[in-house]
Amino acid sequence: MNTTRIFKGITKTVVVIAAFALVAGNTTAAQAANKTITCYKGTLTKKVTAVFPKCATGWSTTKPKAGTTATAGVAFSGTYKGKMTMVWSDSGVKVTNLTATGTGTTLGMTDMTGTGAAAPQNQCDSFIGTGTFGGGGNTITVKVDTGAKACADGDAAPTGVTVTGNAVITGGTGKYAGAKGALKANGTFNIKSTDAGSTESAAFTLTIAGNIGK
C-alpha cells in the first residue's frame, strides 16, 4: 500500500473542504444584509444599522404617543389662596364656587376653581369635590378621593376646618391632555354658621403637591 499517496489524497480533500467552507461562509456574510431600526428615548430618535441591530440601554423601538413624554412624572406643587362660597341646607353644605391663585411650582397653572359638598354627621367626616388647575393654555382636572376628610376644630360654628386627602388627576388639556396621577392636598378655611339656608364666603388656603403623569 502506498501510504504517501493516500496521505496526499486525504490532505487534498481536507484543503478542498476547507476552501469550500471558507467560500460558503464569505458568501453567507455577503448575503446577510444590514437592517436599520429606529430607536426612541423621550423626544429623541436615532437609527441603528447592523446585521442584527438593537437599541442601546434606555432606548426602545416603541414610538411614544404624541404629547405623553414631556409631561410624564412632572413635579407639581403650590399654595393656592382664594375664596369659597358655601350654601348650607338641612342635609349638609355645598361649595358652589371656589377660586384661588397659586404660587410655587405650579407649571404656569396658577388659577384654581372648584366645587364640593358634604353631609357632615361628625366633627371629622368625608366630603366630595372636583377642581381644575389652569394657566398658559394648559389645565389638569382633579377629583377628591374617597379617603379625604374635613375636620372641624370645634363641635359647633364658628370654627376652623382642615381638609386632608388626595386629589386624583382625571385628565387635562394642552400639554397635560390625558394626565393622570395623585396630588396630596391640605387645606384650611373657617365657617361662621351652619344654619340651614345661610350662605357665606370664606377665605380658603390649599397646599397641594405631587406628580403629573401619563
**What is the residue-level pLDDT of the chain in tens, covering all 214 positions?**
544 454 445 445 444 444 444 444 454 444 568 899 999 887 788 899 998 899 998 889 988 775 444 444 899 999 999 999 999 999 899 999 999 999 999 999 999 999 999 999 999 999 999 999 999 999 999 999 999 999 999 988 999 999 999 999 999 999 999 999 999 999 999 999 889 999 999 999 999 999 999 8
Long-range contacts of 94-97 (CB under 8 A, 24+ apart): 95/129
Q: pTM for the full model? A: 0.66
List of residues 6+ apart from 45 with CB closer than 8 A: 38, 39
CA distance 27 to 12: 22
Tally DSSP H helices, then E strands, for the chain. 1, 12
Residue 169 contacts residue 182 (beta carbons within 8 Å): yes
